[in-house]
Structure 1
C-alpha cells in the first residue's frame, strides 16, 4: 500500500480532532466518527481503507461534523473479523486508524471512558452509532484499557510516553506501535525499550520510536493481539517539543512548550497542534452593572499544590448567569454566591447558597442559570433554628433524604463570633423564609476561630458534602472511632450517609454523622493537602470526594479516594480551565453522569465577588460560570 503523503494545505481546520469512535464488522460494517474539537470540521472528500483495499470514498450521514457531534457511514467494502480501518482527509493525510483481532469488532468496538478520548473496548451491548458510547460500554473495562499514549515528541528525539491510569500493573511485553505511514509495519515496543515488560499502576514508560515521527503524523498503540489500545494524530509542529495529554491519561492532547517524558505532563502552552488543543474562550456575558452591584476584588491568592494537573474537560467556559443576578435585601451588591450542589434526584436543578443568608433553587433558561420562579424568583431567606439571626451561609449539599444541608461560619448580626453549624432545610416548605428542620452546632470544636476577630470567625465551615454510606463501605473506609471497617449500623440515628465539612482555616475536612435527635457523631479530620477548602462534594461519576479551593490554592479541585489502608487521601488535583479568572471562586459542582452528552457533563463555578476580569470586561458583574467535565 502506498504511504499517505502529508497535504497540510488541503486539510480542514481541526481535522486531527476527528476520531474513529465506533466500528462494527457486522451489521453493514458501520463506522462512527466523532469530533472532539470545539469547531465544526468538514469531511467532504475524505476516504477510508482497510488492510486489503486502497483508500475509497464513503458516503457519510453528513459532510460536516459539528463540535461534539457524530457522523456515521457504511464501509464501501466489507470489514473482516480481524481487520483495520484507516481514515484520510481529502488531501491524503491520515486522520485516525484502528485495528482489531478476530471478533473484537462484534457486536462493535467503541471508545469507552469518553467519546473521542476513551480507549478501545469490545462492547457488550447493542451498538450506539450516532450517540454517545457510554450506553454500550462495559461497566468494568479490562485493566489494559487504562494504558494510554500520554506524550509524543517529533523533534528528532521521537520519544513516546505511555501512562497506566489503572490500579494494577499491565504487562506490555508483546505490545507494538506504528506511525501514520500505512506502509510501515508495527514495531515491538520491547525492541525499542528492552526493559519494557510492564507498566506499574500510576506509572510511566518511555521509548524512542524506531520509525521516526514527523509533521502531520500519528502514533497507534497495539496490544499483543493486534487490537488498537490508543492513538493520537497531530498537525505541523504539533508534537514539537511535545504533544501531551492534559491531564495524564485522561485529558485530550495539546502542544506543550516543555517535554516531560517519564513524569507528569507539564501542560504548559496549550497550542493547537495535537488533538483538541485549542485555546479556550470565555463565552457569553454582557449586561450593565446596576446601582449597588459593586464587585469585590479577589484576595488571598496563593499557589496550587505540587503535582496539580490541567483541567481535564473542555477549555471553553460560558458565563452562566444574568448580570448582578443575586441582589437581595441583606446583600444588595449582588455577590457572595458561595456553595453549589446539583440535585441528584433532579439533575436539572442547581442549588446555590449566598453568604448573606439566602438559598436559591436554580434552573436553566438557555445557557443561563436563573432562580426557579415556581420555588422563588428571588431566592428564600434562611434563618437559624427558632427563626433567629442571619446565617453566613457558605456551603450546601443535598442529603440522602432530599433535604438541603447548609453550613454557616457565623451569624452576620454578630460577625466577630464564629457559629459553625450545619442546618437542614426541607425544600418543600412553603413561605419566603426557611427555618431548619434540625440544626447541629460544632462551634466549640474550633476555639482557634473564636478570637474576637471577624476575619478569624470567617474561616470556619466553608463547604459541605454528603457522602453515602455505600461508598464508604464498598471501599472499606476505616472508622477512626473503632479502628475497624466502618459499620453504618453502629450509628442508627445518622441516616444513610456522613457529612464532610471543609474548614477554610486549614483545609481539613471534618466528618460528622448528623443524628435525627439533633446530636452528632464526630469522626475526626482528614487532610486534603491544601491550605484551605472552599467547597466539598461527592461525585458519584468518578467515585471521589472533591475538595475545592479558590485562588488561595491556585483555583484547584482535589479528588480524594479511599486507599488500600482504608484512609481517605488525595488522588489527583486539577486546576480550573485556563480562561477562568483567578478569583474567589468558592463554589464548584459537577452534574450527575445521567446528564452526560457527547462524553461530557456540566461543571459550574460560583464567584464570591463577581469581580470577573475587571472593569470593562464582558464578564464583569457575573457570579456563575459553566464548563464541561469528562463523563
Structure 2
C-alpha cells in the first residue's frame, strides 16, 4: 500500500469496529497503573455518559488478551473503575485495553520502574500527561496529589490533531518552555499487527519540537475509522494517545478542553477550531454572554498602560472559551465613578461556591453563582459592604484581597482615596461575620514607610503600591524547603509565634515585586524580604493548592499574564512558568484573578475568574462593555 509516497508492506489498516462496541468507549482511558501492589490498573471515563465495560479484556507485552474482574461492570461519567491484572506486570511493560469485540480502547507503555509506585495521567482527567508518580497510588481519585511538582518536558508534548481521511496527518504540540527532541519517538495505531514507526522516518521528517510549537507529519501506517494513535518516547514510555469513532478523525479530530472532538476542517500548524471549550494547543475560543444596556452612573473606562508580553510566555492552558460572568453595571456604588470597578478576587477555600471581591473605592462583596453569573449574596449584602481604615475613618483604595486560615478577609490598600496624593500601603483584616453595612478592621498593618519611592506628592505614584495579596500556608513553605531570608536556614514557623499559620505575599504595582510578611496578632508584623516575579508590575496574588504555586498576575501592562512561582533547589521562590490569558479576552486593566479549588473539578477543569478594573470589555457598543467579571477554565 502507498501512503503519501511511502511504500509499506505487510501492514493492514485498522478495521472498523463491530456494532457491539459500547457507546462512548472512546472516552474510557487508562488513568493509572502500578506494576507492584497487586498490579492494579485504573480506568477513567472522560465522557458525559456511563459506559459498559462488560466483557472487556487486557494484555501486556507478553500475554494475549485476558478477561479481568473490574470493581464495577460500568463506569459513570467522570468515574473510575479499578482491577488487578490477571497476570503479572513487569518493571518495563505495557497495558492494552480492548472492548469485548476486540477493539483497542487505550494503551500505555513504561520503561524500567516507570510504574513504581505508579505511572499516571497527571491531573487524573484521562487526558493528562503520563508521568511516574512521586507518592503512593491514587486509585479511585484524581492523580494530582501524586504528580511531581514539575512535569517532565517530554510529557508536555501532546497529540493535538489527527486526520484519517486519506492524508492521515498527525500534529504534535509542545506546551512546555523548552524544545524537546523527538527523533527517536514512535507512534502506532490500534492495529496490533503494526509495529511502531519513528516520527523521524515519517514525512516530513522531524527530530525536535520547539517550545510552544507544532510538528506535523503523515502517518506511515495508515489511520482508519474507530482507530487510535499512541505516541511513545525513545525509552518506551507512553507520552499521549487519542482514540476516535468511525468518522471522528474525518475530516479532523482535535484537542479541546473537554477532550478530542470532530472538526469540520483541519487546522494544522495553527489554532484549533474548537466550537466548545478550548485547551492545549492554542485553539480559538469564544466570548459568551453579556448584553444589557449601560445604566446611569456606569461609565466604562478605556484601558491604559498596555505593555508587551514577557518572553517565554505560554498559551493559556485551560479552555479558551470565556463567559461574561456578571450583570451589566452590577457594581455601581455611591463613592464616585471609580466605584464601578472590581480589582481583587479570591475563592473562599472553605466554601468554593463563594467568591470574594474587592472594589475601589473601599467596598467588599461576597458573590455567589446564580444562573451562571456571579452576583452579590443578598443574605450578606445585596450592595456590598463599605470598608474603612482602623477607627472607622478614610476610604481605603482597596485593590487586593485574600482569605486567611481563620476565614477572615485580608484587604490591601494603596492609599486613602480621601487623600489620594499620599501612599498608605496597608493590610487590613476583616471578619466577614461582622454585622452592619460598614466594616472596620480587626487588625491593620501599615507598611507605608518601606516604600519612600511612592511618597512624592504625586497621586499616580501613590497609586502604585499594594495591588494584590495572597495568603500562603506555612505547610507549603516548609514542605518545599523555603529558606528564611532572616535566618539563612530552613523556614521554621515556630520562630514567629504570633503570625498564625501562614505568611502574606503582597504584590507591588510599582515594580512587580512580592513583599512577604508575617502578620502578628498583636498588630506588629515581620518583614521577610522581597521576591522578583520577572514582571514589571503585579496586580493580583494568589496561592493555588492545585498547582502548588503562588500566582502573580499582571494586567495589560504585562500582556495579560500569570506567573506561577515555585521554591527552587536552593530554597528561593522563583518564577516557574508564565501563561497569557485566553486569546478571546479583551486587553484591558484586568486586575483580579482567582482559580477555584480542585474540589470543584469537573472533567479535569475548574473555574478561573478575572475582573476588569474599568469594565471596558471591547469598548462602546459591544456585548462585553460594562461588565466586570469573566469566567473560564483552568486545568485541575
Judge same fold: TM > 0.5, yes or no: yes
Specify the alignment match of 1:115 in structure 2: 125
Distance in 1 (alpha carbons) for counterparts of 2:512 and 2:149: 36
Cα contact 1:309–1:573 (8 A) shared by 2: yes
Counterpart Cα distance in 2 of 1:137 and 1:519: 38
Tell me, what secondary structure is at the counterpart of 1:473?
helix
**Cross-structure match for 1:12:** none
Which residue number in structure 2 is paired with residue 536 of structure 1? 541
Q: Distance in 2 between matches of 1:612 and 1:618?
A: 8
* 2-structure distance, mates of 1:276, 1:472: 30
The aligned residue for residue 10 of structure 1 is none
Cα deviation, residue 236, structure 1: 5.8
The answer to whether the 8 Å contact 1:87/1:97 transfers is: no
Q: Deviations over 1:568-625 (max 9, x none)?
A: 1100001111111111110001111122222111111111111112223222211111
Question: What is the CA distance between 1:221 and its match in structure 2?
Answer: 3.3
Alpha-carbon contact 1:124-1:137 (below 8 Å) kept: no
Provide the C-alpha distance between the structure 2 equivalents of 1:526 and 1:540, rounded to a whole number of angstroms: 20
The 3-state SS of whatever aligns with 1:472 is helix
Q: Secondary structure of 2:421's match?
A: strand
Distance 1:213 1:271, change over 3 A: farther
Mapping of 1:267-416 within 5 angstroms?
269-272=271-274, 279-331=284-336, 335-416=340-421
CA distance in 2 between partners of 1:144 and 1:449 (Å): 40
2:25 is the counterpart of 1:20: no
Match runs of 1:583-602 below 5 Å = 583-602=588-607
Q: Secondary structure at the match of 2:511?
A: coil
Judge conservation of contact 2:474–2:503 (CA < 8 Å) in 1.
yes
Question: Normalising by structure 2, what TM-score?
Answer: 0.75
Distance 2:453 2:149 in 1: 49
In structure 2, relative to structure 1, the CA distance for the partners of 1:148 and 1:74 (3 Å cut) is closer
Please name the residue that 1:139 is paired with: 146
Q: Is the 8 A contact 1:16 1:275 kept in 2?
A: no
Partner of 2:241: 231
Secondary structure at the aligned position of 1:305 is classed as coil
Secondary structure of the residue aligned to 2:614 is: coil
Contact 2:398/2:413 (<8 A) preserved = yes
User: Following the alignment from structure 2 to structure 1, what is the Cα–Cα distance between the partners of residues 332 and 151?
Assistant: 52
Distance 2:383 2:489 in 1: 48
* Residue 139 (structure 1) shift: 2.5
Helix, strand or coil at the partner of 2:517:
strand
Task: List per-residue Cα deviations over 1:135-163 (Å, max 9, x = no partner).
Answer: x7763569998742615699999897888
Displacement of 1:415 after TM fit? 1.2
Q: Check 1:231–1:434 CA distance in 2 against 1; reply closer, same or farther (3 A cut).
A: same
Of residues 606, 609, 621, the one that matches 2:611 is: 606
Residue aligned with 1:424, SS: strand
8 Å CA contact 2:31, 2:124 repeated in 1: no
TM-score by length of 1: 0.76
Matches within 5 A, 1:437-448: 437-448=442-453
**CA offset digits 1:382-433 (Å, max 9, x no partner):** 0011111100100011112221111111111111111111111111111111
The 2-side partners of 1:369 and 1:238 are apart by: 36
In structure 1, the residue matched to 2:69 is none
Correspondent of 1:467 among 435, 453, 472: 472
Q: Does the 8 Å CA contact 2:343/2:400 hold for their aligned counterparts?
A: yes
Superposition map of 1:149-188 within 5 A: 150=157, 177-179=187-189, 182-187=192-197
The aligned residue for residue 46 of structure 2 is: 34
Name the SS for the 2:411 alignment partner: strand
Q: Which residue does 2:567 correspond to in 1?
A: 562
The equivalent position to 1:481 in structure 2, one of 486, 496, 514, is: 486
Give distance in 2, aligned partners of 1:163 and 1:324.
37
CA distance in 2, matches of 1:332, 1:163: 42
Task: Give the number of aligned pairs.
Answer: 580
RMSD of the TM alignment (CA)?
Answer: 5.1
- Mind listing any 5+ residue stretches in structure 2 that lack a counterpart? 1-10, 18-23, 66-72
Q: Distance in 2 between matches of 1:17 and 1:287?
A: 42
Q: What is the deviation of 1:106?
A: 14
Q: State the secondary structure of the residue aligned to 1:291.
A: coil
**1:220 corresponds to which of 191, 213, 230:** 230
1:577 aligns with 2:545: no
CA contact (8 A) 1:389 1:413 kept: yes
* Residue in 2 that maps onto 1:56: none
Q: Is the 8 A contact 1:316 1:627 kept in 2?
A: yes
> Equivalents in 2 of 1:574, 1:143: separation in Å?
15
Matches within 5 A, 1:57-72: 69-70=77-78
Deviation at 1:222, TM superposition (A): 4.3
Deviations 1:218-243 (A, max 9, x none): 5423479977442246946869xxx8
Q: CA deviation at 1:117?
A: 2.0
Q: Once the 2 structures are TM-superposed, how far is the Cα of residue 331 of structure 1 from its aligned partner? A: 3.8
